[in-house]
């Protein structure tokens, strides 16, 4: 009995010490010898923004394929997927034309992704302000022939800014259809950010089936506040909107997949990734250049430190998260078709700020197991394993009952940059990116070693 | 018995709910109506850097005195303190003069605070590299007539960058004296940061009594790396250093103190503060403009939300943390002289990044009590109450057995800015500053309500 007791107590302790040591190696390696920051610089500065269907998206496919080859991944291949090809065209113009006080003046604006354009002639109409989709539905036909200005704010008292985003983003996603069905001519959306500044935020809209498609732009929060103030004092305020964006034919693109083959259960996969596409403004540094580069680090770090995974680690650069999710859907479709067994899917798509934890989506049992690993991460100031959630690209795997996780950084600053010209390489801190890469790698390591 | 049990169980729950509600009000208020960001802008942009003894330091005293008066603090007064008056003088020159490969070239340098100057004639001498003070002591007389280059790095694998700083900063503090005692002519210090960049970091040195005083400059980490590489291949490398800084006569300055009088124990104080002085480069935004402005928020928020404290809340703008700690010492001296009872001292001087928790210094019992409040803070992503430590300005109170705490932000980026021209208002995020102000206010509220 004594001996058995001894074993029972000692083994977990020894195992813990082993895991702990390897995790320290992973963090030490990232914080001293990681190429992740330089790789992100290349992606942002030498390739740049990479909207689905663009030449830069193709360059990013080739760049990450080569990276994973160079790092000695066991298999690297492209998974074809047809993606939307939306182009912005000439710079947008959004102009108030008849303010009693200010006369005619321009607003900082940007067309929403997937929007139709107004064409060169533009749209010129009276503007009407609402705070929500519900309000448009109450107004009904009163919005006919008008431009509807959705001015709902992100709730600043929500500590998790992603929750505030979730509470406001429906305007951006569906506002055009909801206003269009009552005969509105265009929509203007308040940018999705807590900040007051002059930077307009793009992002995708979705035209609902069988509803009229009308053009949509976002304006900066400062301009939204100003417009709202003017509207309080003046009836019949008119705005001119000119956008020359258009949706072209779908284009062949790819998810880029790299594998480190498992030694014990090579037919069981742990997938980890981010999305390679970005918006066409800024450089997609936080969204989601950092996520892709740190996912590649998972595989590279395993190779570099000689960690032989039991399961096959599959690093995926998903294509087209921003305006279609085609890559994520195709990945899940192929996995199902092939009957592949995924034991977990992990994503990093909430920015490259300092990591604070992981959200997860799956059985209580598996969530509890992941939460029991918190002590491994606490020395690295990663502490939050409670939230329920996953990432967009891996979300189609939920139907196959795959346990999903997303790495969660500190969220306060994400919407300073999201979908804007400000999302550039310089906004990412080297140490925070390295800490993120180490955290993601350590979690994949634990899942691989401990199972789920 | 039943009734007693009922009371015992219900009261803590009700109390918790009350506290929880007030803390939510504090965060909501900060995130929607706080002047803290605008106040920091004024301090940084309209006043600017405010080294002890400078006109700007005097302006900062008057500004914060007026702020606390305007906010209706019950008492606002100045506590006189004589402070050192060090001036940088003409821009420093640090130049390699005889590189075989590069010939003559300049290094990005900045004189250390409190350093004597070389005078216009400068110092021109052979350079010798060391990694630590121990190494200088081993070399002994071999450093005579040379310029000693302290190139010890901050350890990048330390997750808490303040620990890495602590491991390297002795070179900056005492390197000049330790090299000077063997007859060295000057010292050059590797800047205290994990980053590789071109920005030199100043900071104070301390001349040890009875040892020769020699001039000291810091150079950027990129230049330190380059200098080290050149030294590997070339003997007799010479450097010219010219600094025109000098220590002048002490100047009269002030701690600025504002009080909200306690209703139950007005003679018991909770002190909360940051330091008003900064270095003379940058704007002292993170160090410690944010800390001072959020300390004022503690008092203002109590007034604004109608929170009547039981104890007297004393907000202190400490003067001269950077190169003398005279304000912190004087505050403690006066407190002792008057026999004031302080139940806690809190400081914020680790930057205005997102708050992660509080370190503390005091009895295990009191530390445990503070740690038991963690559930109040978790909804705000503030989670770490384990570290032992306090802030510099309040540290002299330790002798009077005061329980001390420092608010701890996420530390990864602090040394990107610390003591440099990069520590400007734009490097502070509005939401992160507001979250910090709310967190500090909430902790003072809990200490006041629960006692220690």
The residue of chain B with its CA nearest to that of A381 is B159
- pLDDT at residue A13, as a whole number: 86
- pLDDT at residue A1, as a whole number: 44
Residues of chain A neighbouring B194 (CB-CB closer than 8 A): 431
- pLDDT at residue A9, as a whole number: 54
The residue of chain B with its CA nearest to that of A436 is B412
B80 in A contact zone (CB under 8 Å): no
- pLDDT at residue A10, as a whole number: 56
A41 in B contact zone (CB under 8 Å): no
A381 in B contact zone (CB under 8 Å): yes
- pLDDT at residue B2, as a whole number: 47
A429 in B contact zone (CB under 8 Å): yes
The residue of chain B with its CA nearest to that of A156 is B31
Determine, for residues B413 and A431 on separate chains, whether the beta-carbon distance falls below 8 Å: yes
Q: Where are the domains of chain A?
A: 17-85+249-450, 92-247
* A273-283 confidence digits (pLDDT tens): 999 999 999 99
Q: Known catalytic residues of A?
A: 321
A29 in B contact zone (CB under 8 Å): no
Give chain B's residues under pLDDT 50. 1-3, 5-7
Determine, for residues A384 and B381 on separate chains, whether the beta-carbon distance falls below 8 Å: yes
Residues of chain B neighbouring A429 (CB-CB closer than 8 A): 412-413, 416
B19-86+249-450 is classed CATH 3.40.50.1100: no
Distances (CA, A) of B243 to A194, A370, B85, B179, B332: 46, 57, 16, 18, 35
* B62-104 confidence digits (pLDDT tens): 999 999 999 999 999 999 999 999 999 999 999 999 999 999 9
- pLDDT at residue A182, as a whole number: 98
Nearest to A354 among B32, B156, B412 (CB): B412
Determine, for residues B432 and A416 on separate chains, whether the beta-carbon distance falls below 8 Å: no
The residue of chain B with its CA nearest to that of A197 is B430
Mean pLDDT, chain A, integer: 96
- The CATH architecture that domain A92-247 belongs to is 3-Layer(bba) Sandwich (3.50)
- The CA distance from B424 to the nearest CA of chain A, in Å, is 15
- pLDDT at residue B11, as a whole number: 75
The residue of chain B with its CA nearest to that of A24 is B157
Reduced 3-state DSSP string for chain B: CHHHHHHHHHHHHHHHHHHHHHHHHHHHHHHHHCCHHHHHHHHHHHHCCCCCCCHHHHHHHHHHHHHHHHCCCCEEEEEEEEEEEEECCCCCEEEEEEECCCEEEECCEEECECCCCCCCCCEEEEEEEECCHHHHHHHHHHHCCCEEEECCCCCCCCCCHHHHHHHHCHHHHHHHHHHHCCCCCEEEEECCCCCCCCCCCCCECCCCCCCCCCCEEEECHHHHHHHHHHHHHCCCCEEEEECCCEEEEEEEEEEEEEEECCCCEEEEEEEEEEECCCCCCCCCHHHHHHHHHHHHHHHHHHHHCCCCCCEEEEEEEECCCCCCCHHHHHHHHHHHHHCCEEEEEEECCCCCCCEEEEEEECCHHHHHHHHCCHHHHHHHCCCECCCECCCCCCHHHHHHCCCEEEEEECCCCHHHHCCCCCCCHHHCCHHHHHHHHHHHHHHHHHHHHHCC
Nearest to A157 among B32, B157, B430 (CB): B32
* A382-433 confidence digits (pLDDT tens): 999 999 999 999 999 999 999 999 999 999 999 999 999 999 999 999 999 9
B165 in A contact zone (CB under 8 Å): no
B429 in A contact zone (CB under 8 Å): yes
Per cent of chain B over pLDDT 90 is 97
Distances (CA, A) of B195 to A37, A84, B191, B246: 12, 40, 9, 29
- The CA distance from A99 to the nearest CA of chain B, in Å, is 29
Determine, for residues B156 and A356 on separate chains, whether the beta-carbon distance falls below 8 Å: no
A153 in B contact zone (CB under 8 Å): no
Mean pLDDT of A308-313: 98
**Residue keyed to tokens 């800084």:** B245
* Spatial contact of B268 and B262, defined as CB atoms under 8 Å apart: yes
pTM of structure? 0.95
- The CATH architecture that domain B89-244 belongs to is 3-Layer(bba) Sandwich (3.50)
User: Is residue A28's pLDDT more than 70?
Assistant: yes
B380 in A contact zone (CB under 8 Å): yes
- pLDDT at residue B13, as a whole number: 86
- pLDDT at residue A11, as a whole number: 75
Mean pLDDT of A26-35: 98
Which residue out of B297, B321, B330, B406 is catalytically annotated? B321
Determine, for residues B381 and A354 on separate chains, whether the beta-carbon distance falls below 8 Å: no
A17-85+249-450 is classed CATH 3.40.630.10: yes
């Amino acid at each position: 009995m004594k001996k058995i007791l001894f074993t029972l107590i000692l083994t977990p302790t020894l195992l813990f010490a082993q895991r702990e040591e390897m995790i320290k190696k992973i963090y030490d390696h990232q914080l001293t010898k990681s190429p992740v920051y330089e790789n992100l610089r290349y992606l942002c500065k030498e390739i740049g923004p990479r909207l689905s269907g663009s030449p830069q998206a193709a360059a990013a496919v080739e760049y990450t394929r080569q990276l994973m080859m160079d790092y000695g991944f066991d298999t690297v291949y492209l998974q074809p997927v047809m993606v939307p090809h939306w182009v912005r065209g000439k710079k947008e113009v959004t102009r108030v034309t008849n303010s009693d006080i200010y006369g005619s003046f321009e607003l900082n604006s940007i067309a929403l992704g997937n929007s139709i354009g107004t064409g060169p002639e533009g749209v010129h109409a009276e503007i009407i302000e609402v705070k929500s989709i519900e309000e448009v539905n109450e107004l009904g036909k009163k919005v006919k022939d008008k431009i509807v200005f959705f001015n709902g704010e992100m709730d600043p008292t929500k500590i998790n800014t992603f929750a505030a985003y979730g509470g406001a983003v429906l305007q951006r996603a569906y506002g055009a259809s909801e206003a269009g069905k009552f005969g509105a001519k265009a929509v203007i959306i308040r940018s999705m950010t807590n900040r007051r500044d002059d930077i307009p935020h793009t992002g995708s809209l979705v035209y609902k089936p069988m509803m009229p498609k009308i053009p949509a732009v976002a304006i900066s929060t400062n301009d939204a506040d100003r417009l709202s103030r003017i509207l309080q004092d003046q009836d019949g305020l008119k705005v001119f909107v000119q956008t020359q964006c258009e949706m072209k034919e779908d284009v062949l693109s790819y998810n880029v997949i790299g594998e480190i083959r498992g030694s014990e259960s090579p037919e069981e996969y742990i997938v980890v990734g981010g999305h390679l596409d970005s918006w066409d403004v800024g450089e997609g540094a936080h969204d989601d250049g950092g996520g892709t580069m740190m996912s590649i680090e998972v595989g590279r770090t395993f190779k570099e430190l000689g960690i032989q995974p039991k399961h096959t680690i599959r690093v995926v650069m998903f294509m087209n998260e921003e305006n279609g999710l085609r890559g994520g859907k195709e990945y899940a479709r192929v996995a199902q078709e092939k009957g592949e067994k995924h034991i977990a899917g992990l994503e990093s798509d909430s920015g490259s700020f300092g990591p604070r934890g992981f959200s997860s989506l799956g059985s209580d049992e598996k969530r509890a197991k992941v939460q029991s690993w918190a002590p491994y991460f606490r020395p690295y100031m990663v502490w939050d394993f409670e939230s329920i959630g996953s990432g967009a690209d891996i979300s189609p795997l939920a139907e196959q009952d795959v346990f999903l996780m997303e790495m969660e950084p500190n969220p306060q600053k994400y919407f300073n940059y999201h979908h804007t010209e400000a999302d550039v390489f310089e906004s990412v801190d080297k140490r925070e990116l390295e800490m993120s890469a180490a955290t993601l790698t350590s979690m994949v390591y634990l899942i691989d070693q401990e199972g789920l």
